[in-house]
Amino acid sequence: MGDEQKEKEKDPKMRRVSTVTFRPEVHEVVEWRVSEESESEDEEENLGDFDEALEMGSILRNNNNTVPILNTSRKPGLNRIPTRAEMKTLTHKAKRPAVDIEFQNLNFTAQSSAHGKKHILRQINGLFKAGELTAIMGPSGAGKSSLMNILVGYVTANTSGSILTNGSPRQMNLFNKLCSYIMQDDLLQPHLTVLESLIISAHLKLGNELPIEDKLSVVDEIIETLGLQVCRNTRVEGLSGGQRKRLSVALELVSNPPVLFLDEPTTGLDLVATKQCVGVLKSLAQQGRTIVCTIHQPSASIFETFDHVYMLAKGQCIYQGAPTQLVPFLANIGLHCKATYNPADFVFEILDTENIKRMTHEIANGKLSQPDPNTTETPAVTKLCRRETMAVIPQVSVTDEEVKKSVEFPTSFWTQFSILLKRRLLQNSRNKTSLYIQSLHHLFSGIFLGGIFLGVGNDAARPFENFKFCISVIVFFIYTYVMTPVLLFPYEVKLLRREYFNRWYSLKAFYAAMSIASLPTTILFGTMFSVVTYLMSDQPWNSDRFIWYLFIGQAMALVSEGMGILIGSIFKSTNGAAVAPASLAPLLAVAVYGMGFGSVIEPFMQFLMNLSFIRYGLVALSVTLYQNRPLMECKESELYCHYKNPRLLLRDLGMEDIDRTNEMISLSVFIVLFRIAAFSALRYRLTTEFSSKFMRIINKVLRKK
């Protein structure tokens, strides 16, 4: 006790007690007072003392809604940001620092095929504060989504101007860690339940250090907060539009980001669902987050819900400020809105060139703002978080070890891979429609093909029909396993873009899990097709040949799947559906080149044939069925069977003395090359520069054709 008394006398500040009274229903500080027992009596009751108390102590809740900040020790660990429980917000994770976003003289241009460069945003300015729900509004083509994509870091090419976070230049490595972007389309895993989706998100975003029990508490709390209790065990494909939107928010809320961007969150929702969605966003903003969303034309009641609106027209800011100040702002420049009229609708109706100029000039293209004089600037809770943050974020350098650590993913590669693999396998097993379609496709295609070439395998009079059978088997595998990812993978890319951009996992983990998860169905259905065709075509029953036949089919499926993923990584489904067959046609042509004169094929054609992976599969399959085979049976009805000796057929096809092992090695090389190329294309697809330049050129070429 004596030592403690001496320490208190040495440092009278340690005996200071500061308290803050909360209004729980709005999470707002309404009373602040300081009492101290030190020798100094000159200090005033101001936020400077409050910040000092926050720096030294910890906040503890008690029953009378008063939060004492007790400076009882200078031990490390007490100098921290208050927890959510202490700040009357969600309690499952520590309170994240608040972030104000400011942009100055922001420009954005895009390529237009008709007029060259088109200015989307023109020297606009703005400030989006923490603790406020901000709506970016404007007519179609005003630049709402472009502004959103630039602020979130989704678009970086063809932009100029400054973007600041808490008054300092934005550091993307840090900013990506602090924000989440929820796109207009509800890109969700359709065959998972709400609870399963949130648990997977918690495992990926909360790291390995947090116990499973705590992660489940996180999930339960978010479900309750966003009103998802009634559908927690419902699969995503069975959710309503409003529930899907709330689930999209819930998935990103797991990591408690201080900044949330939402692109058209109310699109496709009815009035009730829209009010629920905006109400949820409003409550999340009141907890100190910066929430920015684009919205096209809200109703009057929804419009008044926002704390801050930012209006665009023809790439310029025509208004920035509180919704309640829009009508006085318009009246100040001679534009009078009737009391019974929706101000948002009125603005869009009067947007001619002259009025846009007047409004842009009055608001200085966003440099000025119209705050609501009837409300405080921001809740005091938000002020605390912002002041704490603004003292920290500008001082962090991208070369610091702390920053390097902060940009890492919360979980290791192997944890991400394991979770993503389980998620994909679970989805595949629940997608009954896809499983039925694939099984019927492989089964009936095998029966159909086997019926066409029924019994040709041992008929010496029909060797070229058996060769056509080999071609048909190869064609089945390449078109089935190329076209499937070409048509389906672009949707996966959209989902990947959202989760990868919001730092759920690394691209390597996603790609590895995706590649492994497709193997069970590929092996199962490929084997089904191969068994049916092999038996119905009456190929020689030899275990070695049969195993090689199965093996070659699986190899062709994997090569073709890699090519399909490559095309699907670059093109949209519509363009990919045109590119894939056009790419396969020349490969198939050179693969079958040389029938009848294979022993005298010119060197140039040999070179082209070696570029076709289809050729390697066809050669391996033909060699498997004919090499080292005894004389075939020539039926009594046939006078002469020239290819009774299978070696003659292989010679005329240019396949004599070929080792099928080498062909399989070549196929393995193509498997690896296509996978690497697809991964590289996927990585570049996730960058704006690739999408905005390369993809525009390709799409332009396709349109001309």
Q: How confident is the model at residue 450 (pLDDT cuts 50, 70, 90)?
A: very high
Distance CA 565, CA 558 (A): 10
Q: Which is nearest to 653 in space by CA: 614, 608, 611, 618?
A: 618
CB 104 within 8 A of CB 161: yes
Question: Average per-residue pLDDT in the chain?
Answer: 79
Residue 143 · residue 121 · CB < 8 Å: yes
pTM: 0.77
Cα–Cα distance measured from residue 556 to residue 621, given in angstroms and rounded to the nearest whole number: 10
Mean pLDDT of 151-173: 87
Classify the C-alpha dihedral 631-632-636-639 as positive or negative. negative
Residue with tokens 């994770």: 93
pLDDT digits (tens, 9 = 90+) for 543-599: 999 999 999 999 999 999 999 999 999 999 999 999 999 999 999 998 888 766 666
Do the Cβ atoms of 324 and 371 come closer than 8 Å?
Answer: no
Mean pLDDT of 429-440: 95
Tell me the three state secondary structure of residue 631: coil
pLDDT digits (tens, 9 = 90+) for 625-653: 998 888 887 876 677 788 888 888 888 88
φ and ψ of 29, to 5 deg: -80, 125
Residue pLDDT, tens place only, 15-26: 333 333 333 333
243 burial (CB, 10 Å; 0-12 / 13-18 / 19+) is buried
Burial class (CB in 10 A: 0-12, 13-18, 19+), 448: middle
All domains in the chain, ordered by first residue: 2-70 (no CATH), 101-184+259-265+281-406 (3.40.50.300), 413-704 (no CATH)
pLDDT of residue 702: 52
Q: How far is CA 567 from CA 58, 193, 615, 692, in A?
A: 55, 31, 20, 17
Which of 85-94, 170-179, 358-367, 405-414 has maximum average pLDDT?
A: 358-367
Is the confidence at residue 97, as pLDDT, over 80? no
Model confidence band, residue 72 (pLDDT cutoffs 50, 70, 90): very low
How far, in Å, CA of 506 to CA of 511, rounded?
A: 9
Highest mean pLDDT among 202-211, 540-549, 605-614: 540-549
User: What's the whole-number mean pLDDT along residues 143-161?
Assistant: 87
Percent of the chain past pLDDT 70, that is, above it, reads 77
| Sequence-ordered list of residues with C-beta below 8 angstroms from that of 112, at least 6 positions apart, any chain | 118
Residue-wise pLDDT tens digits, 318-333: 999 999 999 999 999 9
Q: Could you tell me the pLDDT band of residue 41, with boundaries at 50, 70 and 90?
A: very low
> Does residue 515 surpass a pLDDT of 50?
yes
Q: Count of CB atoms within 10 A of residue 5's CB?
A: 9
Q: Report which of 369, 255, 362, 214 is spatially closest to residue 307, judged by C-alpha positions.
A: 369
> Which residues pair with residue 35 across a beta bridge?
17
Reading the block at residue 460, the tokens are 């010496």
User: What per-residue string of b and e applies to 171-193 under the rule 16 or more CB within 10 Å gives b?
Assistant: beebbbbbbbbbbebbbbbebbb
Cα dihedral: 201, 206, 209, 214 (round 10): -80
**Which stretch of DSSP H or E encloses residue 650?**
helix 646-652
Q: How far is CA 695 from the centre of its chain?
A: 19
Burial class (CB in 10 A: 0-12, 13-18, 19+), 432: exposed
Helix boundaries (H) for 351-462: 353-362, 380-390, 401-406, 413-430, 432-452
Q: CA dist 630 to 123, 627, 646, Å?
A: 81, 9, 8
Query: Are residues 248 and 267 in contact, defined by beta-carbon separation less than 8 angstroms?
Result: no
- Whether residue 270 is predicted with pLDDT greater than 50 in this model: the reply is yes
pLDDT for position 403: 41
